[in-house]
């Protein structure tokens, strides 16, 4: 299992859902939503393009970063899954 798959499956097992939210009108611009088993939906303020380019990280690459963040945060502290108020911040 590669590290991206490890982070993704860990989030799924711990009921941390991180997903893109397409902006209206339909464009290739997204925000990121996060839901955990213990918190209501949180939607980040930052807007991401679909793909990473020279000026911005793409939404799916940012989701991978966030999955790694939650995995690292919870495997270093060995606590229950933790969600901060900084959805999409990094």
* Tens digit of each residue's pLDDT (9 = 90 or more) over 21-56: 999 988 899 999 999 888 899 999 999 999 999 999
Instruction: Count CB atoms within 10 A of the CB of residue 57.
Output: 17
Tell me, yes or no, whether 24 lies in a domain.
Answer: yes
Is 66 part of a structural domain of the chain? Answer: yes
Q: How many domains does the chain have?
A: 1
- pLDDT surpassing 50 at residue 3: yes
Question: Is 18 within a domain?
Answer: yes
Residue at 10 is within a domain: yes
Q: Is residue 84 part of a domain?
A: no
CB atoms inside a 10 Å sphere around CB 39: 12
Would you call 20 helix, strand, or coil by DSSP?
A: strand
The reply to whether 36 falls in a domain is yes
Burial group, residue 54, by CB count within 10 angstroms (0-12, 13-18, 19+) = exposed
Containing structural domain, residue 38: 3-77
Residue 87 lies inside a defined structural domain of this protein:
no
């Amino acid at each position: 299992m590669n590290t991206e798959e490890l982070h993704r499956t860990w989030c799924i097992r711990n009921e941390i859902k991180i997903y893109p939210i397409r902006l209206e009108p339909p464009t290739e611009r997204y925000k990121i939503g996060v839901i955990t088993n213990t918190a209501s939906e949180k939607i980040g303020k930052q807007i991401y393009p679909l793909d990473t380019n020279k000026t911005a990280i793409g939404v799916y690459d940012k989701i991978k970063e966030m999955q790694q963040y939650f995995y690292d945060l919870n495997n270093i502290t060995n606590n229950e899954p933790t969600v901060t108020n900084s959805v999409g911040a990094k």
